[in-house]
Structure 1
Amino acid sequence: MKKILYTILTCCVWGLFYSCSSDSMEDPNEGKGNAVVVEITTDIQTRTDVIKAFNKGDVMNVFAKTFNKPDAADFISEVKGTYNGSLWITEPQITLKEGERTFIYAYAPYESSISNLTDLSAIPININGQTDILYSGSAIPVSHTTYQAKLTMKHALALFTINIMKQGYTGEGKLQNISLLGNQVYNAGTMNIETGKITGNQIGNLNIETSQTIVDNGWESDLPRLWCIPFSTKLKDAKLKALIDGKEFQAKLPEIEMKSGYQYIFRMVLTDYGLAFIPDQTETISLNQDNDSAEELYNYGVLQIKHHAIAFTVPRFEGDNVFGNITWGDNTTESYNVGVQHEYSNGSWQCVLETWNSTGFELNNIKGIDAIDISQYLN
């Protein structure tokens, strides 16, 4: 059996907003003369019980670039921002003379290891510490005349949350530890500060200690949760391990595609026989928005395959939430699904696959294939 594999690199985008108070403060530009000091504020808006505001004394990485690209040269390097309750005070100060401008990015919480990083399209991250990672998205331009940068901070990670009810369980129900593991569960990776896209590069279990007693109808607040790099269980399994009353329970996650900036609440049931997910009760909540709007479509492509097979199976497309249409070439069409097969009569056929969100494709069998046209797939 021959195999053909084709992969492209891509980025996707997703969001969290930070609230700034209206407290009055001394103008940092008073007495500065010709040069002005860049003023940074932040805004937050969220529907869940994650971070709702920065606190006085919080610090973050501030990046001032010469152009609005993550890998552009620095306008000034190694800048730390400290929140005073209204504004972010930077050290060193970012000052602009007439005719000068710069582009502002930010990352929170502050990481000294990335303070001198030039390429912000691949910021190394590690989530073993289970800290919420926030990024500013597209660069905010500032100049001598428009020197106030209001940043809309966004969540980069997905929030895995569980709520367990018990049914006929005879133990106390003391939950002591939960961990998430699987071939696509990562504890480290790289993040693009502009899009928030994270690429995992180190597989590792995620784990938290807890001390909660499971009740009959589940908890109403303080649900156990894990920050995680977005992953999918559609092609590879992931498992939850839970230590309850000193005994380890395991349960396979239902099929799901986890995205940046979303909280996933998985409901589970505990009995004397084991612990199981309730697949039709998973709830998805946006961490970054409280209204509904269509998300931008990305990675549109058309793949054309000429073949003479009697039975043809479509390629498996990689990516988050891949969807599209299949035109089989014999006047029949259908929606794309993994593993869809079509039967033909004798002859030569042109199969056209139109997809969104795919980052690559894989053909496990090239028997009967005469030609593959990827000229429109890269567009």
Structure 2
Amino acid sequence: MIKEASIFLILSTLKPIGLATAKDVHSREFTSHSNGTVSVMLPGTETIQSLQPVQFCGEFVPLRQSNVTRRWVTVLLQQSRHRDYLIRLRKRAVKFFPVIEPILAKYQIPRDFKYLPLVESDLTGTSTSPKGAGGYWQLMPQTARDFGLIVRSGLDERRDLQKSTMAACRYLRELHHELGSWTLVAAAYNSGVTHVQNRIDQQGIRSYYNLRLHRETSTYLYRVLAYKELLTRPRMYSDMLSPGLLADLTRPLPGERFQPGVMPFVHSSGQPGLEPEPTWGPRSRNLLEETLAQIAGDSEDSGAASDAGSTSMTASPAQTPMAMTALLGLRVLRFRRTRLWQVFLAAKRKIQPLFDWDWV
């Protein structure tokens, strides 16, 4: 007898972890729990991967629905197969997200939409689709013109990251005004608002996860979420990923503001566009740096100037040798935990840190 809180599927062919196809996912056994998590039995092992709640713009993915969980696991496994591709996207994200995020915040677009260009163009401004969509956000020529971009022979502002992001934000805002749901906005961005609105009218359903859409559109949001999860919470899916891919996704990169961690993000703001999510770019000064600034006699002016980096290492006339010694001595203790320490933490799964490096 199948309980209300559990869904069981029959296991069949088994393949290596991270190399499974969509057909394999249909043969998995998984159990949904009342706390929102879903346990998935991985093929060929006795390991159970616990899928944590996932949300897009504050709206949780209904993982307790078998069809939703099956599709979500399918996309995760498909995306995890492309190791080199994921690493390239992560490096581009470190470079481009600091440009995209402030524009999204300015137009009050939820921050999760920064992952759309990863699906649309691989964060490549020169890409053009067979239908004519181009640039980072893959805007159609007429759509780009409608929202203020110049698209003509010799000048295509869709290839300008800042201008195309502003145009995309205006377009997303208009879609949200028509549809009222950010998940439906993402679907409409992929297939057009007419297609989505027609399907809503025909089926009488306003949930993206239950609407019957074009095949590409029906998996579009899952692909966006897969990039979001794999680039920000890879350890949550450690049993699905190969050790090499997990190491690549958790290795700090130059200019990366945060190390992908294991703790789920708790949405605490009523405005999705202003949510205090860890972001990409230079690290702001933390509490210990503030303390060191006081030891070194740092002034308020230097505190404001160091918003995008660490405290200044330049001595002022008021700084004593003892204060500078303390400053230097404490700062050199910033380090990345060694491989041996990471292995130890991996063995002690319950005490995995949020960051692979920290102050001591």
Identify the TM-score tier after normalising by the shorter chain.
under 0.3
Q: Which structure: larger Rg?
A: 1
TM-score, length-scaled by structure 1: 0.26
Scaled by the length of structure 2, the TM-score of the pair is: 0.27
More strand by share: 1
If each structure's helix is expressed as a fraction of its own residues, which one has the higher value?
2
